[in-house]
Chains A and B, each alone.
Chain A
Amino acid sequence: RKEVEQDPGPFNVPEGATVAFNCTYSNSASQSFFWYRQDCRKEPKLLMSVYSSGNEDGRFTAQLNRASQYISLLIRDSKLSDSATYLCAVNSGGGFKTIFGAGTRLFVKA
């Protein structure tokens, strides 16, 4: 089993749709969780950190479920500009090493 696994993609949604991504992790001692966005042929950019209480930034909501060992990202009112690959990342239980998921590709269509 991979340490961090994401929903297989791609997700194809119309503008205005709500889309949710899940990411599971295997190390129960993991402490820090993140979502990154990566555009084609560009570097990943931090979208948001995921806190135990959940957090929201505009149309984006991230949640953590420690009992089931997964994090989620919800995007409401999808825009064409949301089309990208979304990577989840999990800090492996202390220290600086962070494991990235393989990414989920999102296509938002007009």
Chain B
Amino acid sequence: DGGITQSPKYLFRKEGQNVTLSCEQNLNHDAMYWYRQDPGQGLRLIYYSQIVNDFQKGDIAEGYSVSREKKESFPLTVTSAQKNPTAFYLCASSSQVNNEQFFGPGTRLTVL
């Protein structure tokens, strides 16, 4: 089955710890994205990557870092510099053809 996977589904961390969220896709999409969603809010773009070894900051990149070493993978690190990391994190990918984005199931991060 083609799709996007994110792991873990739920993640608990202590304040001050870095944590890395996984995102993998086998849709052969060039572009990948990370969004953050807070309760009752829309999606806010953290980082996106149009091609391997290249990525751009979104609207709320501070306190986050990413890498794109492989086309299939776009991990997100939430660093201790992120002031309010507790949120629902969504990864997505899209093709160059039509920009339709497909989302993974998300990771709920709770920082205690």
Q: Which of A45, A46, A87 contacts B42 (CB 8 A)?
A: A87
Q: Contact residue range for chain B?
A: 20 to 34
B105→A43 contact, CB < 8 A: yes
The 10 nearest A-B residue pairs measured at CB: A102-B42, A43-B103, A96-B31, A100-B43, A32-B99, A91-B99, A43-B106, A96-B50, A100-B42, A44-B103
Please, which residues of chain B bring their CB within 8 A of the CB of A32? 98-99
- Contact A96/B105 with A43-B90, A91-B99 known, Cβ cut-off 8 Å: no
Please, which residues of chain B bring their CB within 8 A of the CB of A43? 90, 103-106
A89→B101 contact, CB < 8 A: yes
Q: Contact residue range for chain A?
A: 20 to 34
A95→B100 contact, CB < 8 A: no
Per-residue CB contact flags for chain A residues 78-110 toward chain B (1 = under 8 Å, else 0) read 000000000101010001111111110000000
B103→A49 contact, CB < 8 A: no
- Asked if A42 is at the interface (CB within 8 A of a chain B CB), the reply is yes
B101→A95 contact, CB < 8 A: no
- Asked if A34 is at the interface (CB within 8 A of a chain B CB), the reply is yes
Cβ of B32 to closest chain A Cβ, rounded Å: 9
Task: Provide a sorted-by-A list of 6 A–B residue pairs whose CB atoms are within 8 angstroms.
Answer: A43-B104, A91-B99, A97-B58, A98-B101, A100-B42, A100-B43
Closest B residue to A45 by CB, please name it: B103
Please, which residues of chain A bring their CB within 8 A of the CB of B103? 43-45
Please, which residues of chain B bring their CB within 8 A of the CB of A42? 105-106
Please, which residues of chain A bring their CB within 8 A of the CB of B100? 34, 46, 49
Per-residue CB contact flags for chain B residues 71-112 toward chain A (1 = under 8 Å, else 0) read 000000000000000001010001010111111111000000
Please, which residues of chain A bring their CB within 8 A of the CB of B58? 97
- Asked if B41 is at the interface (CB within 8 A of a chain A CB), the reply is yes
Please, which residues of chain B bring their CB within 8 A of the CB of A91? 99
- Asked if B34 is at the interface (CB within 8 A of a chain A CB), the reply is no
Cβ of B21 to closest chain A Cβ, rounded Å: 14
- Asked if B48 is at the interface (CB within 8 A of a chain A CB), the reply is yes
Cβ of A64 to closest chain B Cβ, rounded Å: 15
